[in-house]
Amino acid sequence: MSNTDVSERGDPLHVASVAKAFRVLEAFGQTITDLSLMEIADLTGLDKSATQRFTHTLWQLGYLEKDERTRRFRLGKPVLDLSFYYLRSNALIELATPALVDLRNSCGERANLSLYDDTTTIYVIRQQTKREYFDGSLIGRRIPVFCTSGGRAILAQLPSHEVSSILSRSDLRAKTAKTITDPETIMRKVEEAAEQGYGLAVEEMVLGEITIGAAVIDANGRPIAAVHIAASTGDWGVDAFRERFAPLVIETAQSLSRSQRHITHRVR
């Protein structure tokens, strides 16, 4: 759920027009094609007049681009500027970048870092291998915690009542034919991750992919991110994958966790 999905009532600091503008931008997350005004209205729930005003303003600011031939809209390049500002200012990402390069070089498989955000994590570092697919190369992708190795490793660091709350608010629809969606079975996987120090997922997000992940913990003992290693099931059996990569992913996550004790907010 995005931050703009929160209720607009009861908060004196809530600016409804700002929230509606973000609803227009977030509508593009539901498609890979350009959108017409009517399609934006349908996706946001805004009326035609409001959709036209917000879309026009965002277009003037550059956050939307318009195809003059079709009159359809797409996200504009300044959206990427915001992503850059976030990545540049995040101390964990700065510290983790060389660590993930080293991890990729050590394991020869894809090494990723994702940041924890309630029911999901978001990829912010993706160190690729030669065998890569398009979605697997992009940062900014949001994935659920319930069916991912890093997500389960993160859940394993939380109290059981928080895990139950997260699962109750998660969209437990299967991503593949092998996705585990039963809450009790997911809880057992989380308990396994707590015992082993890492989470494991086999073809639950992408068929043919096996992943292992360990949580990064902040100075307050809370999970804030996860380190993942991903490989092909055609190259690795589950037991061999665990034996080879569990020590590497745990070591990297623990090193980044130790670094959190020394991170302070940057002041210029």
Sequential DSSP letters for 46-105: --HHHHHHHHHHHHHHTSEEE-TTT--EEE-THHHHHHHHHHHH-HHHHHHHHHHHHHHH
Whether the predicted pLDDT of 8 surpasses 60: no
Reported confidence tier of residue 264, pLDDT bands at 50, 70, 90: low
For 58, the domain range is 3-80
Question: Is residue 250 in some structural domain?
Answer: yes
Question: Is residue 228 in some structural domain?
Answer: yes
Q: What is the mean pLDDT of residues 200-207?
A: 96
> Would you state the pLDDT for residue 102?
96
Say if residues 246 and 198 touch (Cβ distance below 8 Å): yes
Q: Both 118 and 140 in a single domain?
A: yes
Q: Both 115 and 243 in a single domain?
A: yes
Reported confidence tier of residue 15, pLDDT bands at 50, 70, 90: confident
Measured CA to CA, the distance from residue 149 to residue 227 in angstroms comes to 9
Lowest-pLDDT choice from 66-70, 138-142, 226-230, 246-250:
138-142
Question: Is residue 267 in some structural domain?
Answer: no
Rounded to the nearest 5 percent, the helix, strand and coil shares of the chain are 50, 20, 35
Question: Is residue 268 in some structural domain?
Answer: no
Q: Both 117 and 216 in a single domain?
A: yes
Q: Both 190 and 126 in a single domain?
A: yes
Whether the predicted pLDDT of 7 surpasses 60: no
Contacts of 61 (CB under 8 A, 6+ apart): 78
> Would you state the pLDDT for residue 266?
52
Question: pLDDT digit string (tens) for 59-99?
Answer: 999 999 999 999 999 999 999 999 999 999 999 999 999 99
Angle between helices 37-44 and 16-26 (to 10 degrees): 120
Q: Both 33 and 98 in a single domain?
A: no
Question: Is residue 176 in some structural domain?
Answer: yes
CA 256, 94, 125 angle in degrees (round to 5)? 85
CA 235, 241, 243 angle in degrees (round to 5)? 145
Q: Both 41 and 161 in a single domain?
A: no
Report the CATH number at residue 199. Answer: 3.30.450.40
pTM of structure: 0.85
Question: Is residue 21 in some structural domain?
Answer: yes
Q: Of 26, 58, 80, which closes a domain?
A: 80
